[in-house]
Amino acid sequence: MPETKWWQTALFYQIYPRSFADGNGDGIGDFKGIIEKLDYLQDLGIDAIWLSPHFPSPHWDCGYDISDYCDVAPEYGTLDDFRAFLEGAHARGIRVILDLVLNHTSDQHPWFLESKSSRDNPKSDWYIWHDTPPNNWQSCFDGDAWTCIPERDQYYYHYFMKQQPDLNWRNPAVKQAMWDVVRFWLDMGVDGFRLDAISAIYEDPNLTPHTVPLTLAGVRRLAETAKTTAEVALAEAYWREMFKHQWDGPGLHDLMKELRTILDAYPGDRVLVGENDDIAYMGKGADELHLVFNFPLMRTERITPTHIRANQAERLARLDALPTRGWGCNTLGNHDSSRIFTRYAADGTHAAELARVNAALVLTLRGTPFLYNGEEIGMTDYLIADPARLRDTMATWYYRAAIDDLKVDPAEAAVRVGKMSRDKNRTPMQWSRWPNAGFCPAGVEPWLPVHSNYVEGINVGDQQDDPDSMLNYYRRLIRARRRTAALLTGEYRPLHAAAEDYFAFLRTTEAQTVLVVLNYSAARRELRFDVPGKTAARVIFSSHRDDAARRLDGMRLDAFEVLIAETVE
C-alpha cells in the first residue's frame, strides 16, 4: 500500500483574510488578527490552512488581481507578519497553502505597466495583444474580453475583469518569472498552493468566436429569471458555449507537470490543489496536481443520498482508474459560493439539522475535506440590500448593466445583485456578541457589513462553552475523524443503494470497518445492516444519543441523526 501523505488525511480550513480577524482595528482582517486566532484553529482541530490571496492588490476582484506576487498587502501587514503567521501555524502542527493566481495579474502590476507602455518594451509580449479585437469573446465578469490601451493602440485580453489582464504563458520569460514566484514562497516554507482559475491559462490558439446570441449580461439575466427546467438548461448551455474556447487550451497539462516538478524538488510533500473538478488535471496520478475539488458534489439545490451515491460512484471510479490511484477532495463551501447553511436549507424548516448532516458528509467521505471559515458556527449568507455597500465588482458591474442595458427596474436589480454577489458569503467572521461581532472594534466600520444574526448566538463566544452548539458539534466530529483510521484512509462502500432519505456507507481498512449513517429526514428509522462477521457497532460518534453500541440487525436512527460506529463481532 502506498505511503499516506499528510495532505490526504489533513482537514483544510479556508481563511478569507479580509474577513477573518481585524488585529489592528481598521475594519479589515489582517495577519495580526489571524495570529491571534491560531489557538482557536488548533482547538478546532484543523490540520492545514488555505489562505486566500494576501498579496498587494487594488482589490478590483478582492485580491485576485495581484500587483506584487512577492509581498503582503499593506492592510494585512508585512512580510515579517506573514513569516510570524507561518511560524505560528507550523508550531501548532498546522500547514499553510497559498492561493496562487497564475492566469492573470493586476493591471497595476509593474509587468503590465511596462507591457502597455509601448510595443517595443522588453515586456511587450508578456500579455496577449492584438491590433483589433480578433473575436467576440467575453470576460466572465464584465462584458467584452478585449480592452484598448491608447499607449499601444492595441487591445489586450482579459478573461476576468479589464483590471485583470491575462499573462502570455507562451512566452518563456513569463513562465520563468512565475516559477520564481513559486520558489519564493516555497523557500519561505509554505506547504503548497491552491491554483486559481487554471483552466483559463491557455485559450484556443485559433481564437474561435462563440455563437451565443446574447451578451454576458443577457446570459446572466436569462439564468436568474429562468423558471422552467428547459430555461435553466438553456442558460447553462449558453454559458458553456460562450466560454468554451477560452478554457483548457493546449499546453496546460505540460505546464502543470513543470509546476509539479518544482514542488517535488522540495522536502515535505508540498501539495497542489486545483480550482477545478476535472480529474484530467491530475495527469497520470503523480505528475500533475495532487488534488482537484469535487465541485459536482456541490452543484445541486439539495444534497440527497441519491445525489451523493451517484457523485461518489463517478468520482471514485475515475480516481481509481488513474495509473497512480488518485485521491479525492470534498467540500460544500468556499468564498465564491453560498454558505452551506443557506445553500442547502431546502425550505428552511430544518436548516440547522441539514447543516450538521452535511458537515458530517464532508468529514466522513473518502478524500481530503475542506471547510470555509465560519461554517463551523453556522454562519449564513447576508444579503446586502444597498448596492452602494457591495464590494464585489462583478455584482456592481451587473447592477449597472441590468439597469442601463437590460432596462431592469433598479429595485429589482438591487435584489438580484444582492443574491448573486459573493459579498453575501464573505462577511466578517463572527467572534462574539460585542459590536461588529468582535471582528473589529466598536465604532469602526468593517469593510463589509456584519451579519446581524451574530447577536442571536451565531458567534464563537456564545458557542464556545455550549456543548450543543454548532461549534462544539464540529469539534466533536473533527476529533472523531482524527482518531478513526478508517475515516482517514479507508475504502468506501455504499450500503442500501435504494434509500432516498438516508445515506449509509462503510469506510474500511484491514484493521477496521466503520459504518456511517446520515439521516437526511425528520423521520425516525429502524435499519438493518449486513456486514459479514459483524453483529453490532461500537458508537464512535452520534449527534443525538450517548449509547455505547447498537445492533446491526435492528439499529434505530433518530431524525437527522449522524452516526459513526465501528462494526464488531
Note the helical H segments in 408-524. Answer: 410-420, 460-463, 470-482, 485-489
For residue 143, the model assigns a pLDDT of 84
Q: What are the residues whose beta carbons fall under 8 Å from the beta carbon of 310, sequence distance 6 or more?
A: none
Give yes or no: residues 59 and 198 share one domain.
Answer: yes
Residue 354 Rama label (left phi>0; alpha psi -120 to 50; beta): alpha
145 and 48 part of one domain:
no
DSSP H helical segments within 153-228, as ranges?
Answer: 172-188, 216-225
Answer whether residue 339 shows pLDDT above 60: yes
Q: Please say if 196 is a catalytic residue.
A: yes
Residue 1 located in a structural domain: no
User: CB-based contacts of 192: which residues, under 8 Å, 6+ apart?
Assistant: 7, 95, 97, 98, 263, 270, 271, 272, 273, 290
DSSP 275: S
Percent of the chain with pLDDT strictly greater than 70:
99
User: CB within 8 A of 468, min separation 6: which ones?
Assistant: none
How much is the average pLDDT of 204-225?
93
Do 191 and 275 lie in a common domain? yes
CB distance 353 to 519 below 8 Å = no
Provide the domain limits for residue 406.
385-420
Q: Distance between CA atoms of 62 and 424, rounded to whole angstroms?
A: 13
Q: Left, alpha or beta for 127 (phi > 0: left; psi -120 to 50: alpha)?
A: beta
- Asked whether the predicted pLDDT for residue 1 surpasses 60, the reply is no
pLDDT tier at 305, thresholds 50, 70, 90: very high
On whether both 230 and 350 belong to a single domain, the answer is no
Across the chain, mean pLDDT equals: 96
Cβ atoms 546, 538 nearer than 8 A = no
Q: Which residue in the list 30, 65, 191, 196 is annotated as catalytic? A: 196
Listed range (250-264, 304-318, 400-414) with the worst mean pLDDT: 400-414
How many structural domains comprise the chain?
Answer: 5
Give the pLDDT of residue 491. 98
Contact assessment for residue 439 and residue 21, using Cβ atoms and an 8 Å cutoff = yes
**pLDDT value, residue 398:** 83
- In sequence order, the β-bridge partners of residue 539 are 565
Q: Are residues 88 and 140 in the same domain?
A: no
Are 378 and 396 within one domain?
no
More confident residue, 153 or 224: 153
Let me know whether 300 and 366 are in one domain. Answer: yes
pLDDT greater than 90 at residue 400: no
Q: Is 275 a catalytic residue?
A: yes
Q: Which of 494, 489, 528 is nearest to 508 (CA)?
A: 489
Of the residues 275, 353, 392, 423, only one is catalytic, namely: 275
Residue 533 in any domain: the answer is yes
Dist. CA 247–CA 236, nearest whole Å: 16
- Predicted TM-score (pTM) of this structure: 0.96
Q: How many CB atoms lie within 10 A of CB 519?
A: 26
Q: Domain check: are 288 and 374 in the same one?
A: yes
- pLDDT score at 3: 86
